[in-house]
Copies of this chain bind each other. A is one copy, B any other.
């Protein structure tokens, strides 16, 4: 039976899971929960009953709907270990997870629509102010990440194949480009982005390829 993924094409956290599912060749069924401001399907009573956090992505396991993309990536790795999305070496595994968490815990949360809505609604931020806010957090995070991985000597960040690090990086680069963030200070990150875009699992998981 296909794994049920509560999904939205433009959600970058959902994009992470689409990449991982395709890398691992897991059969999945995408259930569209539109976060579009005119639809806001995540606020429907039906979805709230399934997932009280009213966010995507989420998956259904043993009849339970569970969210949080980074927790789900760990579950995918344990449940479908081949090919791995974590390095086999302990220190590299720590570094790959720390890289991913810098995006998942320090960059992406600041640019979530729920946060931008408060900035607009409570603080009167206009489009330009939102762009400055958005770019600031990406630039801070990417500056730290570029320093950590510049000069790495493997085809991908932590070895010969993409890991959880690329799985979180590539959707964040997509968001950065969508908001016209200057990415020229991050040549290592951009080289990895280009390498990943050539892989079928990444190409099939993009927002454009995932529109319903």
Contacts and interface: CB of A to CB of B under 8 A. Distances in A.
Contact of A123 (B55, B68, B71, B123): B123
B147 A91 contact: no
A66 B144 CA distance: 12
A135 interface: no
Contact of A98 (B68, B102, B105): B68
Nearest to A52: B147
A162 interface: no
Given A52-B147, A53-B102, A109-B109, A91 B62 contact: yes
**Copies of this subunit:** 2
A91 B68 contact: no
A54 to B, nearest CB: 8
A188 B193 CA distance: 43
Given A75-B93, A97-B68, A105 B102 contact: no
Interface in A72-125: 72, 74-75, 78-79, 90-91, 93-95, 97-98, 100-102, 104-106, 108-110, 112, 114-115, 118-119, 122-123, 125
24 contacts: A52-B144, A52-B147, A53-B106, A54-B144, A64-B91, A64-B95, A67-B102, A68-B97, A68-B105, A70-B101, A71-B94, A74-B74, A74-B93, A74-B97, A78-B90, A101-B104, A106-B109, A106-B112, A109-B109, A114-B140, A118-B133, A119-B123, A122-B129, A123-B125
